Amino acid sequence: MEEPIDLPRSAWEDPLKWLKEYDRVANFNKWDDMMCLANVYFFLDGTARQWYVNNEDALDSWEAFKNGLSGLFGDRQKYTRRAEEQLKCRAQRSGESTQSYIQSVLGLCQEVNPLMKEDEKVSHLMKGVAEDIYQALLTREINDTASFIKWCNYIEDMKQKRVGRPRFERLPNVVPVASLTDETDLVSLIRTIVREEVHRLVNQTQESLTPIPNP
């Protein structure tokens, strides 16, 4: 016998999730509706088991059990709203792997809208992924969740290789960020501009001091 699956114990938990898990067990064991109902007691726990015991006579079919469960623990809209609130602020946590974060967000997307578009899913993933991964992803073309996952795997693989690589000797005076322009060229450009501006001002001054010849 499988271990009992804990049913929702409060109105904040989703019975439909539990029913999906139970259906997987039932399908694996090739149970029909009668066997599903006969075995369900052994998969209940806590408040859900007590509810079943209290109403066992009325729960005379698998359909009656499912309807009673859904009616007791609330409607679907409540869980959808809760998933929406979680999705709004779901960020990758300290110590959480990127793949764990991705699957958690995609699960919330599925709860909110099973038909959610790929670009919307990517938007939810991007807004909460760890900062170093986010910065690396900005240089990539990501159109769907598959490409998001692919590049996350690639970036993390490169990070692992970099960590495992022997350290090279480093000088103490290296700059923290590379410049996008050559500083020497920039100084030369500034000097050229200053010389040209001084030359222009000198010419203007000389012209103003030159007397205008009498006709």
Helices (H), the chain: 15-29, 33-39, 46-54, 62-72, 76-88, 98-112, 118-128, 131-137, 145-164, 183-209
Handedness of CA 53, 55, 60, 65 (dihedral sign): negative
pLDDT of residue 101: 95
pLDDT of residue 131: 93
pLDDT of residue 12: 43
- Comparing 193 with 109, the larger pLDDT belongs to 109
In terms of pTM, does the model score above 0.85? no
pLDDT of residue 10: 45
How far is residue 14's CA from residue 6's CA, in Å, rounded to a whole number?
11
Q: Is the pLDDT of residue 1 over 60?
A: no
Q: Is the pLDDT of residue 98 over 90?
A: yes
What is the percent of the chain where pLDDT is above 90?
A: 41
- Comparing 171 with 92, the larger pLDDT belongs to 92
Segment 27-77, tens digit of pLDDT: 998 999 999 999 998 888 877 888 889 999 999 999 999 988 887 766 677
Q: Is the pLDDT of residue 213 over 80?
A: no
Segment 2-36, tens digit of pLDDT: 555 555 444 346 777 788 888 988 999 899 999 99
pLDDT of residue 100: 94
